[in-house]
């Protein structure tokens, strides 16, 4: 009987506990089911709970046990919650979890307003997925959408329970789309205090934000201690400015600036410059024979396309002296002009600048170019020839007098050659061509006739060659070409067909001997050698066809050229051969030129081989090889070899190897095979666990000797500390 009484007492006690939630006066309350809907702030709110009721007098929803409240993308889970329809707010207790899209808030108590999104939190933790931020605090005030004040807070981007690093502070203010501002902060590693910050700022999203970038520090044998600072100004959505003073212990302060802009989807560019009053020029004048103490750089890069097929391009790069790029190799880094990315101060003779504009019509196009060359090897740059400007107008192939068997095209050009010292002048060139293509089955025969009128107005230093001169030339020839192709069925790497082509070409070209002794010499066009040459060439391609997926693209295909091989040679019938094809006048046969390109569709593999073989010496005059390979894991390898007989033989390589998900090793080298001289080596590692990374590298230059160490510490979500 005692056991039965105990059971009955327990059941009765449980029922009494539920009475406040399940039993109220019928007119004032509606007993809810496990789920219901409420209207708050004009929006529907879904409420689920183990026990749920609504009090009409107070307009309150009471929910307890596995509570889930949803509105739009927001979801609240709690042990207990009260929803106030009149005030458009709710309170929650227990294990509270509030999710909004990918962010979440976990706490013990939460009060929140649906309309203005203002609330208060106790013992809470905020997670912002965009940069993996975890922010905890004893008291958190939600001031609006994505804006918080946190007291006695900690901040980290580490997922581990014991964070590798964190920032503790008395107060932090966070605003989505802006910054987090911390007061009285302590930076700690594994809970060990390291740095005290009276005030600090960190970005809370990936959009550009105005502020100071993290400083860098490094050391170089030649330059001593190096410190780098930068201030970034996000002027507006389409432009920004970076100021970067850099201090070199043995040089001084190098001031730099870079302004970037985007005018529209078709137009973007940047303007950059730097200046340093270099103490090393005075301290080591023997190393800087061509430099003044005041050293500078200037760059302007712009690219724009217009709807009416007009293109504008500027790639201006200027430095104060020949050694500037040697000392500051990152001067033009980040420029989007590919030609600059390949610049090498050790091997290039000139720094190139280009400003150009072009416009195309249906059967013609116009191009205006201005080219400026700055010597990187000569002390006196006054004799360097500049092209300011060159205007070219081309008429594309079209029928002559309405005939569909006789065609013509023409190029006209004007060039202004200028330099401070030496011969300069203007050149006008008119170059029409007639062709008569005839087909004999798979063979196409194209006789051609070229006329060329070239006129000059020159200005020479001695004034003896001033005046005008001209040249008239006639070129005749015939071209035979054909294309043989065959398609093969296949099922490789998404292809359903592969096309193989053979494209042989044989051309005979005749140019009579013309007196050109009195003409100026600006470029290759100013001397046209006598020719009676036959040239053979063969091009072979492998092209893959890829069906597009989906019913809406059925019958549509993409194409990719996997392989291209070409080979060719010229033979001269003239006793004394001349021209660029023939290196020596007693050689009738030119070098045998060959080139092979192999390119995977996803860009993971690329190879290019080029060779010019001299049959008279049974050796190569030119040989280059370039190979690059990368995969989705992050492995990368690049190898390049270049040989030019009697000029250079250079090998360069670079690579990166991820050993584990948290450790990469990398390195590069430049080696002069001809001189058995190692120019530069660089090697290092990148250790990157979940929320931080350290990058260490050693860069050794051998001519002149310079050893640079770099340590770069990155904290995910905050940025990087350290630099070379």
Show the CA angle centred on residue 131, arms to residues 127 and 133, nearest 5°. 35
pLDDT value for 209: 62
Q: From CA 510, how far away is CA 476, in angstroms rounded? A: 5
- Look at residue 14 and tell me whether its pLDDT is greater than 50: no
**How many CB atoms within 10 Å of residue 534?**
15
Rg (CA), the chain: 37
Contacts of 23-31 with CB under 8 Å at 24 or more apart are 24/53, 24/55, 27/56, 28/55, 28/56, 28/57, 29/53, 29/54, 29/55, 29/56, 30/54, 30/56
User: With 0-12 CB in 10 A as exposed, 13-18 as middle and 19+ as buried, what is 402?
Assistant: exposed
- Look at residue 283 and tell me whether its pLDDT is greater than 60: yes
Mean pLDDT is lowest, of 12-26, 39-53, 196-210, for: 12-26
Q: From CA 699, how far away is CA 125, in angstroms rounded? A: 44
pLDDT value for 38: 54
Peptide bond into 596 cis (omega under 30): no
User: Closest by alpha carbon to 311, among 265, 266, 374, 375?
Assistant: 266
Q: From CA 708, how far away is CA 327, in angstroms rounded? A: 12
Tens digit of each residue's pLDDT (9 = 90 or more) over 218-260: 777 778 888 877 888 888 888 889 888 888 888 999 999 999 9
Q: By percentage, how much of the chain surpasses pLDDT 70?
A: 85
pLDDT value for 21: 29
Tens digit of each residue's pLDDT (9 = 90 or more) over 612-661: 999 988 999 999 999 999 998 889 999 999 999 888 899 999 999 999 98
Mean pLDDT is lowest, of 28-32, 311-315, 391-395, 658-662, for: 28-32
**Three-state DSSP string of 256-313:** EEEEEEEEECCEEEEEEEEEEECHHHHHCHHHCCCCCCEEEEEEEEEEEECCCCEEEE
Q: From CA 115, how far away is CA 600, in angstroms rounded? A: 54
- Look at residue 95 and tell me whether its pLDDT is greater than 80: yes
Which tokens is 604 given?
Answer: 């993971």
Q: Which residues contact 339 (CB under 8 A, 6 or more apart)?
A: 315, 352, 354
Express the helix, strand and coil content of the chain in percent, nearest 5 each. 5, 65, 30
User: With 0-12 CB in 10 A as exposed, 13-18 as middle and 19+ as buried, what is 438?
Assistant: exposed
Q: From CA 587, how far away is CA 30, in angstroms rounded? A: 107
Mean pLDDT of 378-394: 85
DSSP string spanning 34-80?
SEEEEEETTEEEEEE-SEEEEETTTTEEEEEEEEEEEETTEEEEEEE
pLDDT value for 23: 29
Global pTM exceeds 0.85: no
The pair phi, psi for residue 719, each rounded to 5°, is: 125, -155
DSSP 8-state symbol, 552: G
Mean pLDDT over each residue of the chain, to the nearest integer: 82
pLDDT value for 199: 73
User: Closest by alpha carbon to 32, among 54, 17, 15, 47?
Assistant: 54
Q: From CA 653, how far away is CA 683, in angstroms rounded? A: 12
Within 320-466, strands assigned E span: 350-360, 364-375, 386-399, 407-418, 424-435, 438-440, 443-459
Q: Are 435 and 413 in contact (CB under 8 A)?
A: no
Mean pLDDT of 445-458: 94
Mean pLDDT is lowest, of 281-290, 436-445, 603-612, for: 281-290
Question: Across the strands, what pairs with 312?
Answer: 304, 357
65: left (phi over 0), alpha (psi -120 to 50) or beta: left
Q: From CA 594, how far away is CA 303, in angstroms rounded? A: 34
End-to-end Cα distance, the chain = 86
Mean pLDDT of 413-420: 92
Reported as a pLDDT band with limits 50, 70 and 90, residue 347 is low
pLDDT value for 586: 66
User: With 0-12 CB in 10 A as exposed, 13-18 as middle and 19+ as buried, what is 193?
Assistant: exposed
- Which listed CATH number (3.40.47.10, 2.60.40.10, 2.40.128.260, 2.60.450.10) goes with 24-114? 2.60.450.10
Sorted by where each begins, the domain ranges of the chain are 24-114, 116-207, 631-724
Q: From CA 39, how far away is CA 577, in angstroms rounded? A: 94
Peptide bond into 389 cis (omega under 30): yes
Reported as a pLDDT band with limits 50, 70 and 90, residue 577 is low
235: left (phi over 0), alpha (psi -120 to 50) or beta: alpha
Mean pLDDT of 471-484: 94
Three-state DSSP at 17 gives: helix
């Amino acid at each position: 009987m005692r056991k039965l009484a105990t059971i009955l007492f327990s059941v009765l006690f449980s029922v009494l506990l539920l009475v406040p939630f399940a039993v109220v006066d019928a007119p004032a309350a509606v007993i809810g089911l496990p789920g219901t809907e409420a209207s708050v702030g004009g929006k529907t709110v879904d409420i689920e709970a183990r026990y749920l009721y609504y009090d009409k007098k107070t307009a309150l929803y009471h929910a307890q046990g596995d509570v889930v409240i949803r509105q739009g993308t927001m979801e609240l889970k709690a042990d207990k919650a009260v929803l106030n329809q009149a005030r458009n707010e709710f309170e929650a207790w227990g294990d509270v979890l509030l999710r909004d899209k990918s962010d979440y808030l976990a706490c013990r108590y939460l009060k929140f307003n649906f309309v203005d999104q203002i609330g208060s939190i106790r013992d809470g933790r905020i997670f912002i997925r965009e940069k993996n931020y975890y922010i905890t605090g004893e008291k958190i005030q939600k001031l609006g959408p994505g804006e918080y004040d946190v007291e006695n807070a900690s901040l980290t981007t580490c997922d581990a329970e014991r964070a590798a690093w964190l920032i503790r502070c008395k107060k932090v203010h966070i605003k989505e789309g802006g910054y987090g501002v911390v007061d009285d902060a302590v930076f700690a590693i594994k809970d060990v205090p390291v740095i005290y910050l009276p005030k600090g700022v960190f970005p809370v999203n990936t959009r550009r934000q105005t502020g100071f970038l993290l400083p860098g520090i490094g050391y170089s044998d030649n330059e001593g201690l190096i410190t780098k600072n930068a201030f970034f100004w996000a002027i507006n959505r389409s432009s920004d400015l970076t100021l970067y003073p850099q201090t070199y212990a043995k040089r001084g302060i190098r001031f730099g600036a870079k302004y970037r802009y985007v005018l529209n989807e078709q137009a973007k560019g940047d303007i950059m410059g730097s200046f340093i009053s270099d103490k090393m020029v005075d301290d080591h004048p023997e190393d800087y024979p061509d430099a003044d103490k005041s050293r500078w750089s200037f760059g302007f890069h712009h690219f724009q396309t217009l709807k009416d097929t007009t293109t504008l391009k500027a790639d201006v790069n200027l430095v104060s002296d020949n050694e500037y790029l040697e000392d500051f190799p990152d001067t033009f880094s980040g420029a989007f002009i590919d030609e600059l990315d390949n610049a090498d101060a050790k091997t290039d003779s000139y720094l190139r600048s280009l400003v150009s504009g072009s416009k195309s019509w249906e059967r013609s196009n116009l191009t205006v170019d201005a080219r400026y060359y700055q010597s990187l090897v000569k002390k006196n740059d006054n004799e360097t020839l500049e092209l300011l400007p060159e205007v070219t107008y081309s008429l594309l192939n079209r029928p002559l007098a309405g005939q569909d068997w006789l065609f013509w095209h023409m190029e006209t050009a004007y060039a202004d050659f200028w330099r401070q010292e030496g011969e300069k002048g203007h050149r006008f060139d008119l170059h029409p061509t007639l062709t008569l293509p005839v087909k004999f089955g798979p063979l196409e025969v194209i006789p051609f006739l070229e006329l060329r009128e070239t006129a000059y107005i020159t200005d020479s230093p001695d004034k003896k060659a001033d005046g005008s001169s001209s040249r008239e030339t006639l070129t005749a020839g015939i071209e035979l070409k054909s294309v043989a192709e065959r398609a093969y069925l296949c099922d490789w790497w998404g292809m359903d067909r592969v096309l193989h082509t053979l494209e042989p070409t044989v051309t005979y070209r005749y140019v009579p001997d013309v007196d050109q002794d009195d003409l100026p010499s600006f470029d290759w066009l100013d001397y046209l050698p006598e020719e009676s040459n036959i040239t053979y060439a063969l091009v072979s391609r492998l092209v893959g066809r890829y069906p597009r997926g989906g019913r809406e693209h059925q019958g549509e295909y993409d194409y990719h050229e996997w392989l291209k091989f070409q080979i060719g040679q010229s033979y001269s019938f003239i006793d004394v051969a001349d021209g660029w094809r023939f290196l020596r006048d007693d050689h009738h046969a030119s070098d045998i030129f060959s080139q092979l390109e192999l390119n995977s569709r996803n860009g993971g593999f690329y190879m290019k081989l080029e060779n010019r073989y001299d049959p008279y010496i049974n050796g190569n005059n030119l040989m280059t090889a370039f190979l690059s390979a990368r995969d989705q894991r992050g492995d990368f390898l690049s190898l390049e070899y270049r040989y030019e007989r009697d000029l250079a033989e250079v090998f360069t390589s670079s690579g990166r190897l991820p050993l584990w998900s948290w450790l990469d090793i990398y390195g590069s080298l430049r080696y002069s095979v001809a001189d058995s001289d190692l120019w530069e080596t660089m090697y290092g590692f990148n250790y990157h666990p979940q929320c931080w990374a350290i990058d260490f590298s050693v860069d050794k230059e051998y001519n002149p000797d310079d050893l640079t160490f770099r340590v770069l510490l990155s904290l995910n979500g905050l940025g990087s500390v350290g630099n070379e």
